[in-house]
Amino acid sequence: MITNTETGKVELQPEVLEAVVVRFVGDSGDGMQLTGTQFTDTSAMFGNDIATFPNYPSEIRAPQGSLYGVSGFQVHIGSVEVSTPGDDVDLLVAMNPAGLKTNLYAVKPGHTIIVDTDSFTKKNLEKAEYKTNPLEDGSLENYRVIEVAMSSLTKEALKDVEGLDNKSITRSKNMFSLGMIYWMYNRSTDHSVEFFNKKFKSKPELIEANTKVLNAGFYYAETLELIPNSYTISPAKLAAGTYRIIMGNAATAWGLLAAAEKSGLELFLGSYPITPATDILHELVKHKHFGVKAFQAEDEIAGVTSAIGASFAGDLAITTTSGPGLALKGEAIGLAMIIELPLVIINVQRGGPSTGLPTKTEQSDLLQAMYGRNGESPVIVIAASTPGNCFDFAYEAARLALEHMTPVILLTDGYIANGSAPWKIQTVADMPEIKNRKITEVKENWHPYNRDEKTLTRDWAIPGTPGLEHRVGGLEKDSVTGNVSYVPENHEKMTHTRAEKIRLVQNNIPDLKTEFADSGDLLVIGWGGTYGSLHSAVKQINDEGYKKIGLAHFNYINPMPKNTEEVLSRFKKIIVCELNSGQFASILRINHSKFEFFQHNKIQGLPFSNDELIEQFKKLV
Amino acid sequence: METTAVKKYTFKDFTSDQEVRWCPGCDDYVILRSMQKALPEMGIAKENAVFISGIGCSSRFPYYMDTYGMHSIHGRAPGIASGVKLANPDLSVWVMTGDGDSMAIGGNHFIHVLRRNIDLNIVMFNNEIYGLTKGQFSPTSLIGQKTKSSPYGNTQPPFSPGELALGANARFFARIGGNNPKAMTQIFIDAHKFKGTSLVEVLQNCVIFNDGCFANVTDKDVKEDKQIYLEHGKPMIFGKNSDKGLVLKGLKLEVVTIGENGITQEDLLVHNAKEQDKTLHQMLVRLEYPLATGIIRSFEDVTLEEREDYLTAQVKANSKFKKTDDLFFSGETYQVK
Structural domains in chain A, sorted by start: 11-233 (3.40.920.10), 241-509 (3.40.50.970), 520-620 (3.40.50.920)
Expressed as residue numbers, the domain containing B123 is 11-233+272-307
Instruction: Supply the pLDDT for residue A227.
Output: 55
Q: Does A468 sit within 8 Å of B325, measured CB to CB?
A: no
Asked if B150 and B279 sit in the same domain, the reply is: yes
In this prediction the pTM is: 0.91
Residue B227 lies in a domain: yes
User: Does B60 reside within a domain?
Assistant: yes
Mean pLDDT of chain A: 92
Contact B315 A298 (CB under 8 A): no
In chain B, residues with a C-beta closer than 8 Å to the C-beta of A314 are: 87-88
pLDDT digits (tens, 9 = 90+) for B120-172: 999 999 999 999 999 999 999 999 999 999 999 999 999 999 999 999 999 99
Q: Is the pLDDT of residue A11 over 60?
A: no
When pLDDT is averaged across residues A564-581 and rounded to a whole number, the result is 98
Are residue B17 and residue B103 in the same domain, yes or no? yes
How many pairs of residues across A and B have Cβ atoms under 8 Å apart? 203
B333: nearest CB among A242, A317, A468: A242
- Alpha carbon of residue A565 to chain centroid: 29
**Cα–Cα nearest to A223, from A297, A278, A285, A153:** A153
Q: How far is B81 from chain A (nearest CA, A)?
A: 6
Mutation to test the A interface, candidates B334, B335, B337, most A Cβ within 10 Å: B334
Report if residue B326 sits inside a domain.
no
Same domain membership, residue B278 and residue B260 = no
Angstrom distance (rounded) from CA A245 to CA A251 = 10
For residues B192 and B79, state if they share a domain: yes
CA distance A113 to A99: 11
Tell me the pLDDT tens digit for each residue of A107-123.
Answer: 988 888 999 999 999 99
Would you call A310 and B87 a contact, using CB atoms and an 8 Å cutoff? Answer: yes
Q: Which of B18, B69, B334 is closest, CB to CB, to A44?
A: B334
Question: Do both B240 and B174 map to the same domain?
Answer: no
| Residue B82 falls inside a structural domain | yes
| pLDDT-based confidence at residue A2 (cuts at 50, 70, 90) | very low
Q: Best residue in B73, B90, B119 to probe A by mutation, most A CBs within 10 Å?
A: B73
The minimal CB distance from B87 to the residues A261, A268, A465 is found for: A268
**Does this complex have an ipTM over 0.95?**
yes
Q: Which of B70, B93, B329 to mutate to test the interface with A (most CBs of A within 10 A)?
A: B70
Is A432 buried (19+), middle (13-18) or exposed (0-12) by CB count in 10 A? exposed
In this structure, is residue B41 part of a structural domain?
yes
Residues 6+ apart with CB under 8 A from A611: A87
Q: DSSP label at A459?
A: P
- Taking alpha carbons only, the member of A542, A548, A537 closest to residue A577 is A537
Contacts of B50 in chain A (CB under 8 A): 313, 463
Which residue of B39, B60, B67, B82 to mutate against A (max A Cβ within 10 Å)? B82
Within this chain, do residues B127 and B251 fall inside the same structural domain, yes or no?
no
Give contacts of B88 with chain A, Cβ < 8 Å: 313-314, 462-464
As a whole number, mean pLDDT of residues B263-291 equals 97
B175 within domain boundaries: yes
Please tell me the predicted confidence (pLDDT) of residue B286.
97
DSSP conformation letters of B263-325: --GGGS-B--TT-S--HHHHHHHH-TTTEEEEEEEE-----HHHHHHHHHHHHHHH-S-SSHH
Instruction: Give the dihedral sign, CA A204/A209/A212/A213.
Output: negative
Per-residue pLDDT, averaged over B188-193, amounts to 98
CATH code (residue B222): 3.40.50.970
Chain A residue with minimum CA distance to B88: A313
- Which of B76, B86, B333 lies nearest to residue A243, judging by beta carbons? B333
Asked whether residue B242 falls in the same domain as residue B299, the answer is no
Of A46-55, A253-262, A377-386, B2-11, the one with minimum mean pLDDT is B2-11
Total domains, chain B: 2
- Is B334 inside a domain boundary? no
Alpha-carbon A591 to chain mean position: 28
| B149, B115: one domain | yes
CA angle A253, A254, A255 (to 5 degrees): 90
Q: Which of A45, A266, A473 sits opposite B334 (nearest CB)?
A: A45
Mean pLDDT lowest for which of A28-37, A228-237, A446-455, B54-63? Answer: A228-237
**Closest chain A CA to residue B114:** A298
Task: List pLDDT tens digits, range A392-404.
Answer: 999 999 999 999 9
**Which pLDDT tens digit goes with each residue over A183-203?**
888 889 999 999 999 999 999
Question: Does B101 score more than 90 pLDDT?
Answer: yes
Final residue in a domain of this structure, among B213, B243, B270: B270
Alpha carbon distance A23, A111 (integer Å): 12
Q: Of residues A6 and A545, which shows the higher confidence score? A: A545
User: To the nearest whole angstrom, how far is the Cα of A40 from the nearest Cα of chain B?
Assistant: 12
Among chain B residues, CA nearest to A313 = B84
In a domain, residue B3? The reply is no
